[in-house]
Amino acid sequence: MPLPQPPSFRLDGRRALVTGAGRGIGLAAAAALADAGAAVTLVARSAHEVDAAAQAICAAGGRASSLALDVTDLDALAEALARDEPFDIFVNNAGTNRPRSFVEVTVDDFDMIFGLNVRAAFFAAQAVARRLIEAGRPGSIINISSQMGHVGGRNRSVYCASKAAVEGMTRAMALDLGPSGIRVNTICPTFIETEMTRPYLSAPGFRDEVLGKIALGRLGSVEDLTGAILFLASDASSLMTGSALMVDGGWTAA
């Protein structure tokens, strides 16, 4: 009896682009994609960080290059992608937050968070998709969202709004890009310990509050996300688009 063949998680021969790749989730994504066989381009504002990260991936046997670029500079980003070959995989990861009470949020806070988390993410994905469509190639766009795109959080009104916007645009992108064979999904992590989150997670009261909402009783690590990233990047998720993959330890199950 012939048995169904499971899909491969390998990414040999594919090109991947990762933004915010100098550290944290972006660096972990880039390393995982390279380990699975993809040629990865790491993007971040800090040249020394992405250069060092790309060199470390190459030293480990992977293929990687760096691109020092501020993704909020939409013209520079579009020009860089137009000069390059299309990317089969895009991990749209660059993001930020400024936790503040709703009544203390400033216009600058709002513009900075939405400028990176929504505006830059939208047009970066658009630039990647345009190149794929021009080349007649399928692809996978993975927008790094958050559990906060599905629930509320104290002192996170703008961040929650930005990630809810990412969820909405992902579903609409999936409909527009599906006929071209381009899949678009989100990954929605819980609190992940990174250089960006460590300062406020070090506060005992806040850390305890967070852990009390995670069914598995622990914070996430960047390694917890790499399996989901490989799944969405590979043929293992070939019938999945417009979906949100929750990697939240059970936070949103309540």
Dist. CA 85–CA 107, nearest whole Å? 38
The contacts of residue 95 (CB under 8 Å, 6+ apart) are 20, 116, 117, 121, 144, 162
User: Which residues are CB-neighbours of 29 under 8 A, at least 6 positions away?
Assistant: 18, 21, 91, 93, 225, 226, 229
Residue of 38, 64, 158, 159 with catalytic role = 159
Is 200 one of the annotated active-site residues of the chain?
no
* Ordered DSSP codes for 49-76: HHHHHHHHHHHTT-EEEEEE--TT-HHH
- Give the separation between CA 18 and CA 54, rounded to whole angstroms: 11
Among all chains, which residue has been given the structure tokens 């059970």?
Answer: 250
The identity of residue 205, as a single letter, is G
Q: Residues 69, 237, 180, CA angle at the centre, nearest 5°?
A: 65
Cα-flanking dihedrals φ and ψ of residue 32, to 5°?
-65, -45
Instruction: Give the DSSP H/E element, type plus range, for residue 167.
Output: helix 157-177
* CB-count burial class (<10 Å; 0-12, 13-18, 19+) for 60: exposed
| Residue 208 DSSP SS3 | helix
Which residues belong to the active site?
Answer: 159
